[in-house]
Amino acid sequence: MEAIEMEGLTKIYRKHAALDNVHLTVEQGERFGFIGPNGAGKSTTIKLLLDFIKPSKGSARIFGLDAQKDSESLKRIIGYVPSDVHYYSNLTVEEILMMTGKFHHIQNIKEMMAYYAERFALEPKKKMKDLSLGNRKKVAIVNSLIFNPELLILDEPTNGLDPLMQHRLFEELNYHNKEGATIFISTHNLPEVETFCTRTAFIREGKIISVEDMAAGYQPGKVVTLTGSAIGTEDFESKGYRVLSRTDRVVSLLYKDNVNQILADMSSLDLEDIEIRNQNLEEKFMTLYGGGESHE
């Protein structure tokens, strides 16, 4: 069953498409990454899924329910961590979590609060207005996890967290995913996506430009680094290589995943050294967003 299904989802502001005819499916139980630069349409997509804004065209369904028409029912099964956390400033951490417990009818809310307060080093009696960015983010994380949601939507969840809290967050996400939760995470932290997600969508200027299968072993291309003198790149470019960087003695190239062809192309060169490795997600990001088109 699809946890999330977007069909032609579009949002237009003053004749500008913040989201442009997006078709995207997230399967139940997936750990799905959503990547793009600022202004690409990530937060707009999330706001549409949560019915914070209405689409100009198209539709979104969550577990088969309409994201707009069935919004009230869906809010009982979706945990959400916003990129910017804003709660009532005079409420304490404890009061916020108790409200969540009441809304979701959590019978053991005090036990759950004690567990998460220890896990994320929260001070239950502190008011929100007295918390740092990182501590406000931790409150939002706990607030999204505490009722065991069927779907977790996280927008830059590690922003403001120290490395220990980041590690604990992903421990909790892994646990909830193993218990059946679907996780949709938008982040700029590419190593997190590479190690955690099963699939990842890249969005640019409101359009999905690539969806990568991370679970199958992320190998979208080979990065070839050559060391030597007078290494020309014209022949490589004509054969479909992309030049990633170049100095007087070192050239870095990107090529499709074909090691035998790479070795054949390099056989006539006078090289001091050669390195061939898999392209990582950060390099994929730069290929898609750094200008020009990939030759993959």
Domain residue spans of the chain:
2-213, 222-289
Place of tokens 């969550």: 62
Classify the C-alpha dihedral 89-151-20-58 as positive or negative.
negative
List the one residue out of 66, 51, 27 whose CA is nearest residue 213. 27
Residue 218 has pLDDT above 70, yes or no: no
Tens of pLDDT, residue by residue over 63-116, are: 999 999 999 999 999 999 999 999 999 999 999 999 999 999 999 999 999 999
Question: What is the mean predicted confidence (pLDDT) over 177-200?
Answer: 89
Residue 193 has pLDDT above 90, yes or no: no
Residue 291 has pLDDT above 60, yes or no: no
Place of tokens 């992320």: 218
Report the mean per-residue pLDDT for the chain: 88
Classify the C-alpha dihedral 113-114-119-124 as positive or negative.
positive
Q: What is the pLDDT of residue 222?
A: 82
Residue 217 has pLDDT above 90, yes or no: no
Question: 2.30.230, 3.40.50, 3.30.70, 3.30.470: which CATH number matches 222-289?
Answer: 3.30.70
pLDDT band at residue 294 under the 50/70/90 scheme: very low
Return the CATH number of the domain spanning residue range 2-213: 3.40.50.300
- Percent of the chain exceeding pLDDT 90 equals 62
More confident residue, 38 or 11: 11
Max avg pLDDT among 9-23, 202-216, 237-251, 254-268: 9-23
Global pTM?
Answer: 0.78
